[in-house]
């Protein structure tokens, strides 16, 4: 009976209620030339439909309620925790509100501007909205435009790099002098041998 009930809910949701918004990742894909997928904002790479973890079919009752609550968040500023969205997806709804987000569907190029440059969920130094345009994950510090990551990490790890440079240089200096000393010591020994032979 319970199964049947779940089945009905799934059916209901998949048939009537599911709205995925592929416009956004498709736009991101177009401008960044990276082969992105729904995981840009969703929990699952294939989007919300389906039975896999992070998709609607796998949700239990609590999560279903959360989803319903998230779906009715039409205005900005209220915290959402939709189980089918990742934190970037939730962040979008939080900063824009569902209503504004739905309006943006026709012109996804404006999403980045609307989001602004403030939020950086993975604190990798690249704002979420820029990562959206780059076609990289806003929630993973390991994923980002290589050059932008380079610049931001260079600043972030400046002390580490400096320490590495100084210590390696010192070690090299020591080692070079060790080799030179060894060489001269060997020469002295060799010379002594030769003088003795004479």
Residues that bind another protein (CB under 8 A): 34-37, 39, 45-46, 53, 135-137, 140-146, 149-150, 153-154, 157, 160-161, 163-188, 191-192, 195
Which residue's CB is nearer to another protein, number 97 or number 135? 135
Inter-axis angle of helices 146-156 and 158-197, to 10 degrees?
80
CA torsion through residues 7, 13, 16, 19, sign: negative
- Whole-angstrom Cα distance, residue 129 to residue 118? 9
Spatial CA neighbour of 152 closest among 125, 116, 122? 125
CB of 4 to another protein, least distance (A): 14
- Whole-angstrom Cα distance, residue 46 to residue 71? 19
- Whole-angstrom Cα distance, residue 54 to residue 85? 8
Q: Are 81 and 101 in contact (CB under 8 A)?
A: no
- Whole-angstrom Cα distance, residue 93 to residue 102? 10
CB of 116 to another protein, least distance (A): 23
Which residue's CB is nearer to another protein, number 110 or number 191? 191
Which residue's CB is nearer to another protein, number 18 or number 170? 170
CB of 108 to another protein, least distance (A): 18
CB of 143 to another protein, least distance (A): 5
- Whole-angstrom Cα distance, residue 28 to residue 133? 5
CB of 157 to another protein, least distance (A): 5
CB of 169 to another protein, least distance (A): 7
Which residue's CB is nearer to another protein, number 72 or number 177? 177
Which residue's CB is nearer to another protein, number 102 or number 163? 163
> DSSP 3-state assignment of 43?
coil
DSSP β-bridge partners for residue 42: 85
Which residue's CB is nearer to another protein, number 109 or number 177? 177
Q: Return the number of other C-beta atoms located less than 10 Å from residue 50's C-beta.
A: 15
């Amino acid at each position: 009976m319970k199964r049947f009930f779940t089945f009905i809910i799934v059916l209901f949701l998949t048939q009537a209620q599911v709205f995925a918004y592929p416009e956004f990742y498709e736009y991101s894909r177009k401008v960044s030339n990276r082969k992105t997928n729904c995981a840009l904002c969703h929990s699952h790479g294939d989007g919300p439909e389906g039975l896999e973890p992070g998709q609607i079919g796998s949700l239990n009752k609590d999560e279903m309620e959360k989803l319903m609550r998230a779906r009715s968040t039409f205005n900005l500023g209220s915290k959402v925790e939709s189980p089918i969205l990742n934190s970037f997806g939730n962040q979008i709804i939080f900063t824009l509100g569902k209503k504004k987000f739905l309006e943006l569907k026709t012109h996804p190029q404006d999403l980045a501007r609307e989001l602004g440059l403030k939020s950086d969920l993975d604190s990798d130094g690249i704002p979420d909205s820029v990562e959206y345009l780059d076609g990289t994950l806003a929630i993973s510090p390991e994923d980002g435009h290589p050059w932008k990551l380079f610049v931001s990490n260079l600043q972030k790890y400046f002390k580490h790099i400096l320490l590495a440079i100084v210590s390696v240089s010192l070690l090299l200096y020591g080692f070079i002098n060790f080799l030179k000393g060894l060489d001269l010591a060997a020469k002295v020994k060799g010379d002594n041998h030769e003088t003795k032979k004479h």
